[in-house]
Each structure stands twice: as structure tokens, then as C-alpha cells.
Structure 1
């Protein structure tokens, strides 16, 4: 009985979950890029791409979850993998909620204050993706990227607070309500990015 036969039919299936999680993170980055182009550059193509990418994110989430349920061997504890799968999905869902609210209010483009927030979210997503890529090869680099995600989130909260203060000073209740909801959704996306960064750092700690 040769080794290839044993691996294929006898040995438990082993999945590269770190690669799978990185692929999911890359889709999230694509979604954040399209979010920026949709609302800042008024790109209808990017608006449509968000919905396609959200569907792809859901497919990857389901695939990774099914793989986790059926795998006997994982590169780290199952709880850590599950946590990141759900957190990446939560980021995608939060972006979907933002798009749903913006459409409900008939908003198709946003100003420079939102551009700063979108760019912050793009940066956080890029750092997460970069962090997943270096988990196996450079734990220190992954930890640094996780910290940079946290730093970026703190900056996002500062921009959020200033934007809300500006809305209050304008004394326009309708605009305040609409933008409070939209800004709150962006803050939620950033929060989910930070939580995922914390879980990424937890993976590094357990692997070293």
C-alpha cells in the first residue's frame, strides 16, 4: 500500500485553514475597495460588484465552516478558526447593512468625511489580509499588522466623533438621523475589523 493511497483514503483530511481564511480576507478587501468607489467615485459598476462580492464572501464562509465541521486535523484549535470565520463574515454583513441603509435613504454618493472613513476601513482590511499571509512565516509582522488595525480603528472613532459633532451643530434632525445611522454602520465595520485583528493575534500566540 503506497503513501499516496494512505493519504487519500485512510489518513484524516487536513485543510489549510490559514490559506482559506486569507482568501476570505482578500474578498473582504475587495468589498471595501468597491465600497469606496461606489459612494465616493459614484461608480455604478462598483456598487453592483459589492453585491457579487458579498455573495462570494458568503460562499467562502459556508465552505470554510463545512470544512471545519468535517476535518479531524486542524493547524490550530477549532475555536480559533471558527471565531475568525464568523468575524470575517460579520464584517461582510455589516458592509451589507451599510449599503442597505444608504439605498433606503436614497443616498448614492457621500462627502470627504465619509471618504476618510472608507479609506480607514480599506486600510484595516488590507492590514488584516497582510496579517493572514504572514502567520506562518513572520509572527512578529502579523502581530504588528494586528496592532496597526487597532490603531486605525482608534483613528476611525475620532473621525466618527467629529462627524457626529458636526451634524449636531447643524441642527438638522433629518440629516442627523440619516447620517447617524450610516456613520454608526461604518463604526461597526471598523469595530469588527479590530475584533478580527485580535483573533488573528490570538492565532499567532497559539502557534508560537
Structure 2
């Protein structure tokens, strides 16, 4: 078979059986980008640095790009090494973490809120949870069994945030400044929702681990 016929045959095979994307890598890359977003939110809330807020907005665009790229790869892949539904759930839940981080920042800007010790503690713990997920996705492809401990750590982080949230709400409604109460509650709620999505992502990670076992 000459070169032109080989090339035609290769193209036909590629069309019929397109190359499968490395979804382990794609999910890890997306999780790393979520880490960048959470890191910037932590930096903004701890230092109240305006540049960190600007970087948070820029990170959202990169997170959107990765999400759309991963969804495109999922929709165009002939087969996947992981259950398609699990890949989609992982993509969607990680994207929701970014969305809630951005909502937190937007609410602080719109309502002219400053972070208090409750919100700072919650976002720092959120950082712990997302970094646990990043470690889990980093080794999922080669050592899925070892990734389970990181899924557990991420879920444990979410539970700590929920305890912080309940304490923050209890402390908040001790005073009489009702306008500030409702403003702060929105901030706490966004961080609690972000933690819920960390938990959801950890559940997906564990589902994948079980199916790979």
C-alpha cells in the first residue's frame, strides 16, 4: 500500500474510530483551574487586594473555556475510559464551584461587604477541600485506589464548612442590624453552596474509583 492509500485509510479509521481524549488529564486540568479560582478568592478575602478580585474574574473565563472544551471532547468521543455520566457530573460540579466563588466576590462588591472571620475561615477550608480533590484527580488514572483518601478528605472539608456556616448564622442573628444580617447571610450561603459542590465532586470521584476497581 502506497503512502496516499495509507493516509486515506488512516483518515477513514480516524473518522470511524476517533482518538479518545485523555479524560483523566482533562478532569485534572479542570480541577487545577478551580484551585486557581479558589486561591484567588482566598487571597482577595484575606488581603482584600483588588488585583486578586480582577484575577478572579479573569480565571472565570479560563474555567469556562476548559469546561466547554471538556464537554466538546465528551460529546465527540466514540468511547470513554470512564462512565460518560460521571465525566459530565464531574465537569458540571467543578464548574459550579467556580460559579459560587464568582458569586461570592460579586455579592461582596455589590453589597459593599467586607469579609469577617467566619467567611475567611469558610473560604480557607474551601481551599483545603478543592486541593484534596485536585490530588485525587491527579492520580485517578494510574492509582485510582489511592485517590479514595482524597475524596474522603474533600467530603470531610465540606462537613467542616457546614459547621462553620451554622455557627456563622447563629452569631450573625444575635444583633439588631438586620440589613447587614441579610447581606452577610448571602455571603455565607454562597460559600456553603460552593462547599456542597466540593462534596458533590468528591462523590463523583468516589463513584469513578468504585467503577474502576
* Residue 113 of structure 1: aligned partner: 118
Which of 1 and 2 has greater Rg? 2
Mapped partners of 1:86, 1:7: distance in 2: 34
1:25 maps to 31
In the alignment, the residues of structure 2 paired with residue 116 and residue 98 of structure 1 have an alpha-carbon distance, to the nearest angstrom, of: 14
Deviation per CA, 1:73-126: give whole Å up to 9, x if none.
21112111111111111111111221221111012x412222211110000110
Which of 25, 43, 47 is the aligned partner of 1:41? Answer: 47
Q: Which residue of 1 aligns with 2:60?
A: 54
TM-score, length basis structure 1: 0.93
Distance, in Å, in 1 between the alignment partners of 2:12 and 2:102 is: 41
User: Which string of whole-angstrom CA distances, capped at 9 and with x for unpartnered residues, describes residues 29-51 of structure 1?
Assistant: 01111001112201121110001
For 1:75 and 1:114, the matched residues in 2 are separated by 39
* Count of residues in Structure 1 that have an aligned counterpart in Structure 2: 206
The equivalent of 1:158 in structure 2 is 163
TM-score in terms of structure 2 length: 0.91
The aligned counterpart of 2:149 is: 144
Alpha carbons 1:15, 1:73 under 8 Å: kept: no
Q: Structure 2 regions of 5+ residues with no counterpart? A: none
